């Protein structure tokens, strides 16, 4: 939904005209097609009101969370919505929070020191292993159990299920025990 500032806020268009050249140049630079008085890069509200994965822009770990509530965030986090109905968001959540994907983000993603920078790039470049919806169920069930336990007790120990997810991810990529050992021993 894009709306003009002067219409929404009752601003005087004459005041905005002082900045018209700057605002029009912004549209050219970013190859955007909306009126120069419109809010910059407005978003579709369903991004915030549908099921989604949320992640802070900067984190020392791969800290992805599932959210089904209306949740409007600012510019300090990123939202991943379902684009492909054959890939469950909870399956993606399991992958993104796994040790193997942390290692990928640490070595192939962006960092500031040991802090991961979780912006569109590198998130859009993460290799996602495609498996059938039926094969995703084992991941989804583990994610559901972790979420249920954390909802009942936020400090609940879910490490056993997290280890099961890690093992499933290793199996997805047919990793050898030597490769798994290297991943498991990686410490920042």
Hey, which residues does 37 pair with through a beta bridge? none
**Per-residue pLDDT at 93 exceeds 90:** yes
CA angle 57, 59, 62 (to 5 degrees): 100
Secondary structure of residue 66 in the 3-state scheme = strand
Instruction: Give 73 or 185, the one with higher predicted confidence.
Output: 185
pLDDT, residue 63, reads 87
pLDDT, residue 26, reads 83
Residue in the block written with tokens 């802090």? 115
**Per-residue pLDDT at 72 exceeds 50:** yes
CA angle 105, 187, 89 (to 5 degrees): 35
Share of the chain above pLDDT 70, in %: 84
What is the distance between the terminal CA atoms of the chain, rounded to a whole angstrom? 43
DSSP string, 99-153: HHHHHHHHHHSEEETTEEE-SHHHHTT-------HHHHHHHHHHHHHHHHHHHH-
pLDDT, residue 74, reads 67
Distance CA 42, CA 4 (A): 11
Tens digit of pLDDT for each residue in 136-187?
A: 999 999 999 999 999 999 999 999 999 999 999 999 999 999 999 999 998 7
Secondary structure of residue 81 in the 3-state scheme = coil
pLDDT, residue 40, reads 61
pLDDT, residue 153, reads 96
CB of 120 within 8 A of CB of 97? no
What tokens appear for 148 in the block? 């249920």
Mention every residue, 6+ apart, whose C-beta is less than 8 A from residue 167: none
pLDDT, residue 188, reads 59
- Return the percent helix, strand and coil in the chain, to nearest 5: 45, 10, 40
What is the pTM (predicted TM-score) of this model?
0.74
**Per-residue pLDDT at 14 exceeds 50:** yes
How sure is the predictor about 43, in pLDDT bands with cuts at 50, 70 and 90? low
Distance CA 153, CA 12 (A): 52
**Per-residue pLDDT at 2 exceeds 60:** no
- Which range has highest mean pLDDT (75-84, 109-118, 152-161, 179-188)? 152-161
pLDDT, residue 181, reads 96
């Amino acid at each position: 939904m894009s709306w003009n500032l002067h219409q929404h806020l009752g601003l005087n268009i004459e005041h905005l005209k002082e900045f018209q050249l700057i605002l029009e140049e912004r549209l050219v630079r970013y190859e955007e097609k909306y009126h120069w008085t419109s809010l910059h890069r407005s978003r579709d509200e369903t991004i915030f009101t549908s099921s989604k994965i949320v992640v802070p822009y900067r984190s020392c770990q791969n800290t992805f969370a599932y959210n089904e509530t209306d949740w409007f965030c600012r510019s300090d986090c990123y939202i991943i919505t379902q684009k492909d109905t054959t890939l469950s968001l909870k399956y993606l959540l399991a992958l993104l929070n796994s040790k193997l994907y942390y290692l990928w983000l640490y070595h192939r993603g962006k960092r500031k020191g040991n802090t991961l920078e979780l912006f569109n790039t590198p998130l859009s470049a993460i290799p996602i292993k495609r498996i059938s919806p039926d094969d995703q169920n084992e991941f989804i069930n583990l994610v559901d159990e972790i979420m249920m336990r954390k909802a009942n007790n936020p400090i609940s120990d879910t490490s056993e299920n997290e280890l099961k997810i890690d093992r499933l991810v290793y199996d997805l990529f047919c990793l050898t025990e030597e490769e798994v050992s290297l991943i498991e021993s990686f410490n920042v």
